[in-house]
Copies of this chain bind each other. A is one copy, B any other.
């Protein structure tokens, strides 16, 4: 697979949480927001926040900060979240159901339009307002719905086989929650979520905090 030439991963990953805070201030009637306030809310350094926001092309004004409406538009445009994206979800188990019920996604333009499961008893039911189809209908429904993005929340053992169907049907982006390294053609983007990443961060942070409290930090 080609190396991805995209802006720094941590910066992109932080943009959604910036967006949440900025929207909150907008709701409260604010017109400007400072990088320092965002930094405080997220326990980051202000310089980091300003660097991250610079990738969206918006520059803050001295003493005033960032114009909120302009900043929200710029972040959403940068992420492609300024229009709704129809997405399908494959694997309507616990994790899939949790994602279908995750209300914040709607704010980010992510619209799960259909789910698929191999369990025939789930076919025809609705989970959090999303219709569930049999996995056998996957290819036909992708064509019918014209979707280009799929969320993969099935068992790892079926991940590659299902990916092959998705790719054949024209899916160009896969948000992969399985632990399988998926083989896809170069035209298809895979974003793999490793749930253990966050746990690694927690463990290392706790260790550092403990060292600091014990006065053993370097």
A105 partner residues in chain B, CB cutoff 8 A: 195-196, 199
Residues of chain B contacted by A192 (CB below 8 angstroms): 17
- A160 vs chain B, min Cβ distance (A): 15
**How far is B95's CA from A2's CA once the two chains are assembled, in angstroms?**
33
| A97 on the B face (CB < 8 A) | yes
Contact string against B for A residues 179-218, beta-carbon threshold 8 Å, 1 for contact and 0 otherwise: 1010000010101111111111111111111001100010
Asked if A110 CB lies within 8 Å of chain B CBs, one says: yes
Contact B199 A110 (CB under 8 A): yes
**The 10 A-B residue pairs with the shortest CB-CB distance in the complex, in nearest-first order:** A95-B98, A191-B202, A94-B98, A16-B196, A13-B197, A94-B97, A80-B203, A6-B208, A189-B205, A173-B206
Is A7's CB within 8 Å of the partner chain B?
A: yes
The chain A residues found within 8 Å of chain B, CB to CB, are 1-7, 9-10, 12-17, 20, 41-45, 78-81, 85, 93-95, 97-99, 101-102, 104-105, 108, 110, 149, 172-173, 175, 179, 181, 187, 189, 191-209, 212-213, 217
- With CB as the reference atom, state the residue of chain B lying closest to A193: B198
CA distance A207 to B149 in the complex (A): 12
Q: Are B16 and A204 in contact (CB under 8 A)?
A: no
Query: When the two chains form their complex, are residues A108 and B189 in contact, meaning their CB atoms are under 8 A apart?
Result: no
Q: A175-B198, A193-B198 are in contact. List 11 more A-B contacts (CB 8 A).
A: A1-B43, A4-B43, A4-B205, A4-B208, A6-B205, A79-B204, A80-B203, A98-B98, A104-B195, A108-B196, A173-B206
